[in-house]
A and B are shown apart, each in its own frame.
Chain A
Amino acid sequence: MRVVRLLVGKDLRLEWRGREIVSAMGLLALLLAIVLGATRSGPEAAPAAMWVTYAFGATLGFTRTFALERDHLTALLLAPLDRGLIFAAKALTNWLGLVVVQVISLPLFGALFTETIWTRLPALALPMLLGGIGLAAVGTLFGGLIVQARLREALLPILMLPVVLPLVIAAVGATTGILDGLPVWAIGAQLQLLLVFDIIFVTASFLLFEYVVEE
């Protein structure tokens, strides 16, 4: 945990000084929310609009995370660490960035789509949390895979979006149920799917990251 704290602390400090990743993700999220909201869709479009925004915001931000680390990755790989810890720290940083984007875009979704978001906020936190963790795990794994590639900005969405499709569909389903006023137990299947997806991808990525960053 000490190493993960150290790596995340460094990433947050760099982000605070550069404000590069969250500002890029946040700006894209705001634009997407406004454009999707401008179609005057009803409240039923809110879950899809939210998760399209989060998924695209994530691909943009996660590409930058590793791009900023590219020149320094050698030093991290040379340190006497389990490389899974590098994955854990990067995934945690990515997830925190996504949480910031989710929080700042939520008022827009509330204003443009449905006010139910405000009354269902505690229940809504569940799919946002579980979906965010899955997006961060997959994005970090593929981000590490393509860190040395040219055109990595184009590669990440191509690799990541098909893999996270089941996660996004389950997250949209859970969010729809919550905004429709269903109790949390009624969307248990979608939440379970999100949880299983998270467990599989966090565990597999932790174990595989050693080989992902190998030259």
Chain B
Amino acid sequence: MSVGAVDQWAVEARGLVKSFDHRPVLRGVDLRVRTGETLAILGANGSGKTTLLRLIATLSSPTRGGVVWFGEPSAPLPEIRRRIGLVPHESLLYDALTVEENLRFFGGLYGLAPSRVESALDEHALRPLALRRVRVLSRGQRQQVNLARALLHEPDLLILDEPYTGLDVGASGRLTSTLRACASRGCTVILTTHDPSGAGALAADVTVMLDGRLTEIMPAAGLDAALLADWFREGRR
């Protein structure tokens, strides 16, 4: 993993506008996330959080505006993608393959040695599940494997879309500790959630997506749940 200077921005988005069929979902998003920072993006369902994450993950192009990753405006996209890990809301794993086969396949896409998959199985406590097909795993176990897949190539930027949804207390705890370990290595983490308590447990800073725009970044410690609830209602109006 190549982490840049402390002051470097991992993600710098300016004036992002994204429309689908002339319907704007993002209406001018500015966002700067420092290298090594953990930022939670809060917002009601349908507020545009996932669209923003897909833009940051290079999976989609903005209608207007632009994103600079790792302070390198002219870096080729494959090089940027090599440094990004994504855990979307849906599982990206192949149900008919075993956990180990999935990790070997995705590791192969990044040119990783098989030994990296072996160490990932141990790091994420997946050894007992290694030979099971993904289709028989629980939601929590799938999320654990999905996270292992996203961290396999040791990304500098980890993006997670509603990672806590559907997880029980134990699985949530495991997810939080994995993300904390990732952040302690200097990895930048951006996650979305509609649950302020989940955001506060992990992120130092939060921002709120309201009506296609982000609020100022604020400390997670100062989150006022009642105020957020008002904002969410406002954002939906």
Contacts and interface: CB of A to CB of B under 8 A. Distances in A.
Same complex for A and B? Answer: yes
Interface of A: 2-3, 6, 10, 13-14, 17-18, 71-72, 74-82, 214-215
Nearest to B90: A71
A79 B92 contact: no
A177 B108 CA distance: 46
Contact of B82 (A3, A74, A75, A80): A80
Interface stretch (B31-39, B57-65, B199-207): B57-65
Nearest to A10: B105
A80 B84 CA distance: 10
A14 B133 CA distance: 12
Contact of A6 (B60, B81, B92, B109): B109
A147 B47 CA distance: 25
21 contacts: A3-B109, A6-B105, A13-B96, A13-B97, A14-B97, A72-B94, A74-B92, A75-B109, A76-B109, A78-B57, A78-B58, A78-B59, A78-B84, A79-B81, A79-B109, A80-B81, A80-B82, A82-B78, A214-B61, A215-B54, A215-B59
Interface residues of B, number: 28
A75 B110 contact: no
B2 to A, nearest CB: 14
Q: Secondary structure at chain A's binding surface: helix, strand, loop or mixed?
A: helix
B69 to A, nearest CB: 13
A215 to B, nearest CB: 4
B91 interface: yes
A43 to B, nearest CB: 43
Interface string B71-103: 000000011011010101011111011000100
B59 A80 contact: no
B86 A14 contact: no
Given A14-B97, A78-B81, 16 more contacts: A2-B111, A3-B108, A10-B97, A13-B96, A17-B96, A71-B92, A72-B93, A78-B59, A78-B86, A80-B79, A80-B82, A80-B109, A81-B109, A214-B60, A214-B61, A215-B54
A77 B88 CA distance: 13
B61 A18 contact: no
Nearest to B108: A6
A14 B96 contact: yes
A18 B78 contact: no
A74 B96 contact: no
B231 interface: no
B59 A14 contact: no
A121 B63 CA distance: 54
Contacts of B91: 71
A72 B109 CA distance: 13
A209 to B, nearest CB: 14
Nearest to B77: A80
Contact of B88 (A74, A76, A81, A215): A74
Contacts of B54: 215
Nearest to A77: B59
A38 to B, nearest CB: 37
